């Protein structure tokens, strides 16, 4: 049996014991965060842009693009 739990905070479960027994797979914010290249690709596809993933241009355009998606 597999159980999936999605929360914003760690649940009140014996997580350390589950980790030690290799019975737990975790996805954290760092696992889900886009790289600059992935973010540029996403915004290019969703908004029809032609952004370059090269800094410093990327950070400016990615922030601007993210603002429009909100």
pLDDT, residue 23, reads: 93
Please, which pLDDT band fits residue 39 given cuts at 50, 70 and 90? confident
pLDDT, residue 57, reads: 63
Please, which pLDDT band fits residue 30 given cuts at 50, 70 and 90? confident
Give the residue-averaged pLDDT of 12-34.
91
User: What is the count of structural domains for the chain?
Assistant: 1
Within-domain flag for 1: no
Q: Whole domain around residue 47: which residue ranges?
A: 15-69
pLDDT, residue 69, reads: 67
Compute the radius of gyration of the chain from its Cα atoms: 18
Q: Which of 29, 33, 67 is nearest to 47 (CA)?
A: 67
The answer to whether the beta carbons of residues 39 and 62 sit under 8 Å apart is: yes
Within-domain flag for 2: no
Cα separation, 22 vs 24, whole angstroms: 6
Within-domain flag for 40: yes
Convert the pLDDT of each residue in 40-63 to its tens digit. 788 788 878 777 767 666 666 667
């Amino acid at each position: 049996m597999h159980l999936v739990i999605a929360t914003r905070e760690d649940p009140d479960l014996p997580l350390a014991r589950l980790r030690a027994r290799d019975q737990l797979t975790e996805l954290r914010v760092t696992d889900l965060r886009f790289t600059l290249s992935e973010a540029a690709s996403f915004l290019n596809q969703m908004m029809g842009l032609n952004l370059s993933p090269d800094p410093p241009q990327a950070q400016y355009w990615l922030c601007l693009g993210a603002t429009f998606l909100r």
